[in-house]
């Protein structure tokens, strides 16, 4: 009997792999096991849903049963995989043991939690799934008008939520140890532009500070900050980053670093076991500062990786090469497109105009190794991607 292609995870990585594989092969049995309901939704919509008055149900674009039927998949929802035996080619799940022909790990990432002191520390919420969003949405809407939301983290997800919630009328305060928002991604003057734009929506800031303790204060939360302030909020959203979920792979002895290590065909260190998405560390994204590869927790890398993985699973030779993939940051108060330089790339941010920054090296100042565009300058995105692609091609020849 032929065992199925077994996929763990019903996020974009899992479903997109199925879509791509079905273009090549309509018949091979596929089983998709997932801890959640399996409904298809676009995760990026979680951080701009309040502005569009959409709740969790409205974010589902294709219900699980429909997508499973369309793609001819046996779906096991609400089923958790607890162990992999790559020698026996089986997985242990909460519904029993399953055998596989090939196994795809599309288990995503986990929200990073920092230990907080106080009697309400467990009240900090993270939003990294539709279910998380359901809890967050329900708590916020139950509290009604004028809710005070403290957002821990001024990175991409923290800033997007700050914009969305402030735009929807919530009183938002952002806390971050850096002295400016999106410090890891933007040059300082771009951060200033973003901070001003969000301040224009009444967002308040505690920068250069961390949350140390969360305690109950009547019906609210009192946050003790490292800068000596106490901030009172109704909800605390923790958006301090994600970490690839490598737990199953690690326990099975599969090589992991910052993510599950995969080669250019998306194969892990174990035969017949593959990985992609937020859980993977791609050799195709290696650079001088990350010689063994990088995690790329964004949509576009998944779209490219799923195509190559489907070919690998089909037995067709394919190799993953990432194109330049800028990220559009969903802060409508100041639209931003960012393409960070690869880790280890030498150079510095050079302001071409207020709203356009290139990461350029001293030997090639007329070429961008990365860029940030804000406001009306975001229209230059394609031109800069073309320029970077041309540079990469020249560098490779």
| Cβ pair 105, 10 in contact under 8 A | no
Q: In whole angstroms, how close is the CB of 395 to ligand FAD at the nearest point?
A: 25
Residue linked to tokens 């090639």: 364
Distance CA 158, CA 177 (A): 13
Nearer to ligand FAD, 12 or 198 (CB): 12
Nearer to ligand FAD, 77 or 375 (CB): 77
Q: In whole angstroms, how close is the CB of 47 to ligand FAD at the nearest point?
A: 4
Nearer to ligand FAD, 33 or 231 (CB): 33
Q: In whole angstroms, how close is the CB of 394 to ligand FAD at the nearest point?
A: 27
Nearer to ligand FAD, 107 or 267 (CB): 107
Q: How many helices (H) and strands (E) does the chain have?
A: 9, 26
CA dihedral 43, 7, 274, 27 (to 10 degrees): -120
SS3 state of residue 67: helix
Distance CA 106, CA 9 (A): 5
Q: 61 is written with which tokens?
A: 């674009």
Q: In whole angstroms, how close is the CB of 8 to ligand FAD at the nearest point?
A: 5
| Cβ pair 297, 109 in contact under 8 A | yes
Residue 250: name the closest of 97, 107, 90, 93 by CA: 107
Q: Return residues touching ligand FAD (CB under 6 A).
A: 8-14, 33-36, 43-44, 46-47, 80-81, 106-108, 127-128, 157, 245, 248, 277-278, 297-300, 302, 327, 330
Nearer to ligand FAD, 305 or 311 (CB): 305
Q: In whole angstroms, how close is the CB of 343 to ligand FAD at the nearest point?
A: 18
Q: In whole angstroms, how close is the CB of 295 to ligand FAD at the nearest point?
A: 9
Could you say which DSSP state residue 277 is in? G
Nearer to ligand FAD, 118 or 335 (CB): 335
């Amino acid at each position: 009997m032929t065992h199925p292609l077994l996929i763990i995870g019903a996020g974009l990585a899992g479903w997109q792999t199925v879509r791509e594989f079905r273009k090549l092969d309509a018949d091979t049995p596929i089983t998709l096991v997932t801890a959640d309901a399996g409904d298809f939704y676009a995760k990026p919509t979680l951080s701009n849903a309040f502005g569009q008055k959409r709740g969790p149900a409205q974010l589902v674009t294709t219900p699980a049963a429909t997508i499973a039927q369309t793609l001819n998949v046996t779906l096991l929802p609400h089923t958790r995989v607890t162990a992999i035996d790559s020698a026996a080619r089986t997985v242990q799940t909460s519904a029993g043991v399953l055998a596989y022909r090939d196994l795809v790990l599309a288990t995503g990432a986990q929200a990073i939690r920092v230990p907080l002191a106080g009697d309400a520390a467990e009240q900090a919420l993270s939003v990294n799934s539709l279910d998380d969003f359901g809890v967050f949405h329900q708590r916020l809407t139950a509290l009604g008008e004028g809710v005070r939301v403290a957002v821990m983290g001024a990175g991409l997800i923290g800033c997007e939520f700050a914009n969305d919630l402030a735009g929807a009328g919530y009183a938002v305060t952002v806390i971050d140890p850096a002295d400016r928002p999106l410090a890891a991604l933007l040059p300082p003057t771009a951060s200033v532009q973003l901070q001003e734009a969000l301040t224009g929506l009444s967002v308040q800031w505690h920068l250069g500070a961390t949350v140390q303790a969360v305690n109950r204060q009547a019906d609210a939360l009192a946050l003790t900050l490292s800068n000596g302030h106490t901030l009172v909020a109704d909800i605390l959203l923790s958006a301090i980053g994600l970490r690839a979920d490598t737990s199953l792979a690690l326990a099975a002895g599969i090589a992991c670093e910052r993510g599950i290590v995969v080669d250019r065909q998306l194969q892990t260190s174990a035969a017949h076991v593959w990985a992609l998405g937020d859980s993977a560390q791609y050799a195709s994204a290696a650079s001088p500062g990350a010689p063994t590869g990088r995690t790329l927790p964004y949509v576009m890398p998944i779209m490219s990786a799923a195509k190559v993985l489907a070919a690998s699973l089909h037995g067709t030779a394919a190799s993953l090469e990432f194109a330049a993939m800028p990220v559009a940051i969903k802060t409508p108060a100041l639209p931003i497109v960012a393409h960070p330089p690869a880790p280890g790339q030498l150079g510095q941010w050079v302001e071409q105009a207020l709203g356009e920054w290139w990461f350029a090296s001293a030997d090639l100042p007329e070429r961008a190794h990365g860029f940030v565009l804000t406001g009306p300058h975001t229209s230059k995105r394609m031109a800069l991607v073309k320029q970077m692609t041309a540079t990469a091609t020249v560098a490779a020849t």
